Amino acid sequence: AKQPVRVLVTGAAGQIGYALVPMIARGVMLGPDQPVILHMLDIAPAAEALNGVKMELVDAAFPLLKGVVATTDVVEACTEVNIAVMVGGFPRKEGMERKDVMSKNVAIYKSQASALEKHAAANCKVLVVANPANTNALILKEFAPSIPEKNISCLTRLDHNRALGQVSERLNVPVSDVKNVIIWGNHSSTQLHGEFITTVQQRGAAIIKARKLSSALSAASSACDHIRDWVLGTPEGTWVSMGVYSDGSYNVPAGLIYSFPVTCRNGEWTIVQGLPIDELSRKKLDLTAEELTEEKELAYSCLS
């Protein structure tokens, strides 16, 4: 029998966490024959809610779920984890300056990076979901230098899946017949262009309007897709979008966490090379890189 994989979910008492943990426990993320131990972290004010989630996980009697750690202690949460899905963060509240929000998230990601650095399993793979996702991932990378930079990523798969969904709806074909869209750059409104693009960019806002809550099931499902493809590989002839540490491909500045088209094999992603970039796309690729560079500078100015 396979050894259980330890999967950390931070912000596990939140909306996305609530949708994500049962998917992981059912094998959606790592496959139907992979046992898992869930590590769930949240902050003290959410401790009771977190315990409620743990009670529901017990009640669901998932055969693959071999254990649950529900804690507000970051060291306990990070100990020996093989996969870390970072959903917890500080949300932007009305009237707050961007810099203040950045500063809170920089502090969170700095301390969680240190805990992962010291206590996670060697070769732990990290996915940052919490916004600003690219920059939180970059801070995490900076403060967890012993984790290989190839192991630190951020989620742009939701935007990728939203684009697949839009193509499927517009062409009236099943979404399983659509592949190889690309999200470049930041998980933000600079990622794409055109009317189709505006729909994808503003999809999050449209969901809040309709549901009075932000996307959760689609975000959770995309996080599972991201890790599954990374660990188990992308299908032949298919690429996906992942926010990863730029090596300068496509003239994107090195040293940013930037979304690229990637294929995955043997637990490693590779940027798809040689795709043609037209003039409009070039402008957009540069614009989103500029935005990320500016965000990086803002984040660094919060470090003291």
Residues lying near ligand NAX in the complex (CB under 6 A) are found at 10-11, 13-17, 41-43, 46, 87-91, 108, 129-131, 133, 155, 158, 187, 214-216, 219
The DSSP secondary-structure symbol of 107 reads H
Residue 143's nearest CA partner among 76, 78, 187, 73 is 78
Q: Quick one: 35 or 182, whose CB is closer to ligand NAX?
A: 182
Structure tokens at 118: 């010291």
Closest to ligand NAX by CB, 13 vs 285, is: 13
CA distances from 198 to 48, 122, 132, 169 (A): 39, 40, 19, 15
- Minimal distance in Å, beta carbon 275 to ligand NAX? 22
Count of Cβ atoms closer than 10 Å to residue 53 Cβ: 23
What is the closest distance, in whole angstroms, from the C-beta atom of residue 78 to ligand NAX in the complex? 11
Q: 90 or 250, CB closer to ligand NAX?
A: 90
Rounded to a whole number of angstroms, the minimum distance from the CB of residue 304 to ligand NAX is 18
Smallest gap from residue 226 Cβ to ligand NAX (A): 10
CA gap 127, 141 in Å, rounded: 11
Residue 187 catalytic? yes
To the nearest 10°, report the CA torsion of 277, 195, 153, 273.
Answer: -20
Full strand arrangement of the beta sheet holding 65-71: 65-71, 36-41, 5-10, 83-86, 125-128, 152-154, 240-245, 257-265, 268-271
The active-site residue out of 39, 187, 193, 226 is 187
Smallest distance, Å, CB 260 to ligand NAX?
Answer: 15
Determine if residue 87 is left, alpha or beta; phi over 0 gives left, psi from -120 to 50 gives alpha, anything else beta.
Answer: alpha
The answer to whether the CB of 12 falls within 8 A of the CB of 52 is: no
| Minimum distance of ligand NAX from residue 124's CB (angstroms) | 17
Check residue 118 and report its DSSP letter.
H
Backbone angles phi, psi at 228, to 5 degrees: -60, -50
Which residue, 202 or 251, is less far from ligand NAX as judged by CB? Answer: 202
Judged by CB, which is closer to ligand NAX: 10, or 103? 10
Q: Considering beta carbons, is residue 142 or 159 the nearer one to ligand NAX?
A: 159
User: By the 8 A CB rule, do 78 and 88 touch?
Assistant: no
| Catalytic residue ranges | 187
